[in-house]
Structure 1
Amino acid sequence: MADALAPEELNTYFALMESVSLLHHAVEQHLRAEGGLSYVQFQLLARLADAPERRLTMTELADGVVYSRSGLTHQAGLLEQAGLVTRGPSPHDQRATLVTITEAGLALVAKVLPGHIEVARRLLFDPLSDADLRSLGEIMTRVRDHMRAQPPRSAATRKRRAPGA
């Protein structure tokens, strides 16, 4: 069994997790109220709006938003039903599905983004000095890069069910 976390590690871990939960809850409330979107749906639309040619493969989206393949397929289907994205085969790889944001999707991102920024600024950035912001940015970039050094979940092999299971 691994050693227990030291008190400072435990306090830091819980402070981080509580802060992330509080921020995520506030952002989710804003996105639902202003755009009828979940946070994951907003992430997908924002990534597509920022992508070259405003489209990405499902694998690129899954890796970028750290979401399960099946969950992503479901969310993309909901966004497609709402007219916010289109899905189709990639002309370069028949196994890949391209997701493209529509004009309606771009308009929705433009509608919710100012409030999203306001929530993030008010809850996350306002209590920080410029030096705090630089330090936090450097620390979180290092932590994220360490976590991302592992193979992306979309690259992991899927477990096969036993026949008849």
Structure 2
Amino acid sequence: MAKALQPSQMRTYFALTEAASLLQYAVQQQLRAEGGLSYVQFEILAKLVDADRPLTMTELADGVVYSRSGLTHQAGLLEAEGLITRQGSTVDQRATVVTITKAGRRRLDTVLPGHIDVVRGLLFDALSADDVRALGDLMTRIRDHMREQPPRSAAPRRSRASSDRDN
């Protein structure tokens, strides 16, 4: 039987999840209102700009915490809007390469100032410079610990039949 969380651990857990939910909700509202983007669509565009090169769908899946099928759907929506392109890799026939378009860069440029305002206002304005460093160090350590598991893209795909049996 699992050992119960200590009261301080439970408070920390709930404070973390509530703060993350509140921030995520505000960010999602801003992205929809100013750019018609979901958070994962914003994340896809931002990761493509940050990488400064095309990425494979697998690289995006490993960086974005989202299901493969959901990521494929979101990429399809972005492609339909002309914000990204997808094509087969010339290096690996199994890979699909994703590139951000000029329109995708413009959309990201449109939402980024408001995104920064929301994040700064809700998260960083409540913290000192030392707090930001400490929180960054803690969250990096936690993220790295969580990412020690194999990436989601490495997990075997479950068949629809086995998924239906499990439900």
Bin of the TM-score, shorter chain as denominator length = over 0.9
Ranges of 4+ aligned residues in structure 1 off by more than 6 Å:
none
Q: Structure 2 matches for 1:12-161, cutoff 5 A? A: 12-53=12-53, 55-160=54-159
Q: Hey, what's the Cα distance between the residues in 2 that align with 1:84 and 1:120?
A: 24
Superposed displacement of residue 52, structure 1: 3.0
Q: Which secondary structure does the structure 2 equivalent of 1:150 belong to?
A: coil
Superposed displacement of residue 162, structure 1: 5.8
Structure 2, unmatched stretches of 5+, are: none
Superposed displacement of residue 49, structure 1: 1.3
Q: Tell me how large the CA RMSD over aligned residues is.
A: 1.4
Q: Which secondary structure does the structure 2 equivalent of 1:146 belong to?
A: helix
Give the alignment's TM-score, normalised by structure 1.
0.95
Give per-residue Cα distances to partners, 1:45-82, cap 9 Å, x unaligned. Answer: 110111232x1000000110111100000000000001
Structure 1, unmatched stretches of 5+, are: none
Q: Which secondary structure does the structure 2 equivalent of 1:99 belong to?
A: strand
Paired residue type of 2:87: G
Share of identical aligned residues, percent?
A: 68
Give the alignment's TM-score, normalised by structure 2.
0.94
Q: Hey, what's the Cα distance between the residues in 1 that align with 2:132 and 2:110?
A: 27
Q: Hey, what's the Cα distance between the residues in 2 that align with 1:59 and 1:66?
A: 12
Q: Which secondary structure does the structure 2 equivalent of 1:126 belong to?
A: helix
